[in-house]
Chain A
Amino acid sequence: MQIEIRKNDHKIIVDDFSASEMRMCLEEGATVDFYNIIDSDNMNTAPRSLSVVQHKQSTFRFHSVNIKGGSSSLSLSIRHEGDGAACVLNGCVVAGERDRVEHNIHIDHQAQYCSSSVLYKYVLSDEAVGVFSGRVLVRKGAQHTISDETNNNLCTSRACRMFTKPELEIYADDVKCSHGSTVGWLNEQALFYMQQRGIPLADAKRMLQRAFISEVLNRIPDKSRYAHLLSEPV
């Protein structure tokens, strides 16, 4: 599937999960909000890919929400060919049982004054497996690139596994870039504090998990796209 976004157009695209391979080209000044919201109707566990080419001053925003369980695998490749292109990638995963959720991201900064911002959070339980690999490449000519990449993960069982690999490769000498990842447990002091106030442990865990992913959900402009997946109102 090939999608062209014309000059200065703003398109909202809702992934219907039918295509295994998608290609997109954003012309100068174009903006795309791409919603990749997984629910029980569109479950597709086969590996899929999305390649995006961005021209001058274009903006690509990607919102991936997979919080109701179910495996998925997506490779997302973004190439900034024109100066001033920007991309924002938001990913939020809550996986349990024997789910396997994989996100492979590749951002190729080839032009000047471009930016990328990546925030992915996973909450894993049971025997779930999470994979995040994010490579940001800043080529020699891509001066004044601003890039941040963060992947924070919460493991709530002994048997779940998180594989995370943020990568940053820089060949330009005037850029501002950061990358990092964390894997941790729920804050036990916070859990006890909540229990001491009378919040049952299971509810306290649920509230902390929700608080953890809310940072990603708050970055997604149209909350109605995922609100039905949440057990409590936004």
Chain B
Amino acid sequence: MLEIKNLHASVDGKEILRGIDLRIGDGEMHALMGPNGSGKSTLSAVLTGNPMYEVTEGSITFNGKDLLSMKPEDRAHEGLFLSFQYPVEIPGVSMTNFMRAALNGKRRYHGEKDLTAAEFIRLMKEKRTLLQLDNKLANRSVNEGFSGGEKKRNEIFQMAMLEPKLSILDETDSGLDVDAMKIVADGVNSLKRADTSCIIITHYQRLLEYLQPEIVHILYKGRIVCTGGMELSRRIEAEGFDWVRNAD
């Protein structure tokens, strides 16, 4: 699915990622943990092609294609999805128009016809129910006036609509109460298939207990310093990151 080799990236001339190597296979769920400022969000920004970040070295291959040479929208069309840590409010653009433009953008890229209005509405309704979002959502502007929990549920709703191959959940659990976290986790679990993969960026054990990732990585100062199973995340929950810092 994804292969990252010796990835270096910087923002405003400051190097944040300092040689990341990561391989994610089909159907795998990986957790990415690490103290604040270790480069977790930078990695998701670089993967999705955020123009603020500059890749200075290394390569990323996504299903055999060179990801770094693609425009952000084409990366999305190829099946890459990011659940934003801070979903952006877009006043004046309704969720319906936004979602329809996104879906049809992907369909056109793959040489498919646009969805009819009826097909689109049916799909919206089906996926909305999954995330327990009410039907007023369709007419509201994207994320405008949404509560923190609604914004995060709306991210997973969009993930359900777009059916990506690789989803990155960037601190999707932050700001969620326990009930909302359960809804989000159930949503993510229900979208899991043998050919879809997921990267979960989080600080907390709770979401990982719901999602049960097979592999846990610890990112520190722009490098993956440790890889293991859920025992790693449990150790972080119990002891914090000091042992990672001390080992460095």
Whether A212 lies near B105 (C-beta < 8 A) is no
B73 near A211: Cβ-Cβ < 8 Å: no
Given A196-B72, A203-B105, A207-B97, decide whether A190 and B158 contact each other with a Cβ distance below 8 A: no
Known: A203-B101, A207-B101. Is A198-B91 also a contact (CB below 8 A)?
Answer: no
Whether A198 touches B162, Cβ cut-off 8 Å, given contacts A189-B88, A190-B88, A211-B93, is yes
Query: Does any Cβ of A come within 8 Å of B236's Cβ?
Result: no
Which B residues from 9 to 58 make CB contacts under 8 A with A? 48-51
Report chain A residues within 8 Å CB of B51: 188, 192
Instruction: State which size class the interface on A falls in.
Output: 20 to 34
Contact B76 A195 (CB under 8 A): yes
Contact of A201 among B71, B87, B90, B106 (CB under 8 A): B71
- The answer to whether B88 touches A197, judged by C-beta atoms less than 8 angstroms apart, is no
- Write out the residue numbers on chain B whose beta carbons fall within 8 Å of the beta carbon of A192: 50-51, 72, 88
> Is B98 an interface residue, CB under 8 A from the partner?
yes
Q: How far is the CA of A37 from the CA of B35 in the complex (A)?
A: 57
Shortest beta-carbon distance, A157 to chain B, in Å? 17
CB of B88 to closest CB in A, whole Å: 4
Question: Is A201 within 8 A of B73, CB to CB?
Answer: yes
Q: Flag if B102 contacts A208 (CB, 8 Å).
A: no
Q: What's the nearest-Cβ distance from chain A to residue B155, in Å?
A: 10
Q: Is the CB of A198 within 8 A of B84?
A: no
Chain B contributes a number of interface residues (CB within 8 A of A) equal to 31
Question: What is the 8 Å Cβ interface bit string for chain B, positions 158-173, against chain A (1 contact, 0 not)?
Answer: 1000100000000000
Within 8 A of A (CB), among B60-87: 71-73, 75-77, 81-82, 84, 87
B92 at the binding interface (Cβ < 8 Å):
yes
A215 CA to B50 CA, complexed, in Å: 29
CB within 8 Å of A: which B178-230 residues: none
Given contact pairs A192-B51, A193-B84, A198 touches B92 in the complex (Cβ within 8 A): no
Bound-complex Cα distance A200 to B48 (A): 14
Q: Contacts of B73 on A, CB cut-off 8 Å?
A: 195-196, 198-201
> CA A194 – CA B105 in complex, angstroms?
11
User: Closest A-chain residue to B164, C-beta based?
Assistant: A198
A211 to B51, CA, bound (A): 23
CB atoms of A208 and B76 under 8 A apart: no
**Which residues from chain A contact B93 at a C-beta distance below 8 Å?**
207-208, 211
Q: 0/1 per residue, A27-44, Cβ < 8 Å to B?
A: 000000000000000000
- Alpha-carbon distance A208/B90, docked complex (angstroms): 8
For the A-B complex with A194-B98, A195-B72, A197-B158 known, give 11 more contacts whose Cβ atoms are closer than 8 Å: A188-B51, A192-B72, A193-B90, A194-B101, A196-B81, A197-B102, A197-B162, A198-B105, A198-B109, A210-B92, A211-B91
Taking Cβ atoms with an 8 Å cutoff, the residues of A that contact B are 187-190, 192-201, 203-204, 207-208, 210-212, 214-215
Chain A to chain B: the 7 pairs with minimum beta-carbon distance, closest first: A211-B92, A198-B76, A195-B72, A197-B102, A193-B88, A198-B105, A195-B73
23 A-B contacts (beta carbon < 8 Å): A187-B88, A187-B90, A189-B88, A190-B88, A190-B90, A192-B50, A193-B90, A196-B72, A196-B75, A198-B76, A198-B77, A198-B162, A199-B98, A199-B105, A200-B105, A203-B101, A203-B105, A207-B93, A207-B101, A208-B90, A208-B92, A212-B92, A214-B92
